[in-house]
Every structure is written in structure tokens, then in C-alpha cells.
């Protein structure tokens, strides 16, 4: 949660200026941080990470610190042991079929 006593709130328009340009050098659109607030973005481990924000009057506000925390939670840890990627439905199905065949072959 964004703490107004410890962090300086900035408008989402100001936040878009802090986000580096994307494809073709285009600046971040105002809808992007709004989407991050409401829907979030997927982290490398598959969890959903939302941008911390607060509503003041009729405006949404965030902070530089909240943007930093958001970016850190989305960035994969390259120095840690590599985590196993979640299996796709196809791989899970194939593994299940192999296990069933192995059990049948063993008579279980």
C-alpha cells in the first residue's frame, strides 16, 4: 500500500514520464499504469503483481518508490538458482500419459 507519510505521491501522467520508452521509442501511455493498478502484470514466477496506488479525490496517484517496487517484483532474479518453469498443459498431459503407461506396464 502506498504510504503518503513516507512517499511523495505523483500523478499517473508524471509516472508515465519516468517509464522508459517502449517500442519504436514511443512514450508510455496513461492507460499502462492504470492497467498495472487494476489488472497487474505477470511476474516471472507467474504471480500477478499490481502497481501500488492511491486515489486522492478523483485522481489516481502512485510514487517513484512504488514504481521501483513494482519493477523489482517483475524482474527475474538471475543470481538465484534457476527455478523450474511451470509446465504447459501439453507437457503435463504427456507426463501423465507416460506415468499411466509405466504403471500399466508394472501391473499397478
Kindly state the helix (H) or strand (E) to which residue 106 belongs, with its residue range.
Answer: helix 89-106
Structural domain contains residue 108: no
pLDDT digits (tens, 9 = 90+) for 9-18: 999 999 999 9
Whether 101 is in a domain gets the answer: no
Residue 89 lies in a domain: no
Residue 55 has pLDDT above 60, yes or no: yes
Domain assignment of residue 2, yes or no? no
Residues 6+ apart with CB under 8 A from 53: 2, 12, 33, 37, 60, 61, 62, 66
Q: What is the pLDDT of residues 25-53, one digit of tens each?
A: 999 999 999 999 999 999 988 899 999 99
Q: Is residue 96 part of a domain?
A: no
- Find how far residue 38's CA is from the centre of its chain: 12
Chain mean pLDDT for the chain: 90
**107: pLDDT strictly greater than 80:** yes
Range of the domain at 45: 10-81
Q: Confirm whether 44 is domain-assigned.
A: yes
Does residue 37 lie in a domain region? Answer: yes
pLDDT of residue 44: 87
Q: How many separate domains does the chain show?
A: 1
Amino acid at each position: 500500500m502506498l504510504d503518503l507519510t513516507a512517499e511523495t505521491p505523483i500523478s499517473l501522467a508524471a509516472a508515465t514520464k519516468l517509464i522508459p520508452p517502449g517500442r519504436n521509442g514511443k512514450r508510455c501511455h496513461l492507460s499502462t499504469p492504470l492497467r498495472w493498478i487494476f489488472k497487474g502484470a505477470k511476474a516471472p514466477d507467474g504471480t500477478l503483481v499490481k502497481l501500488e496506488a492511491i486515489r486522492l479525490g478523483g485522481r489516481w496517484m502512485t510514487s517513484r518508490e512504488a514504481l521501483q517496487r513494482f519493477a523489482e517484483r517483475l524482474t527475474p532474479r538471475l543470481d538465484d538458482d534457476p527455478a523450474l518453469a511451470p509446465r504447459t498443459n501439453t507437457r503435463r498431459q504427456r507426463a501423465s500419459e507416460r506415468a499411466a503407461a509405466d504403471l500399466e506396464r508394472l501391473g499397478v
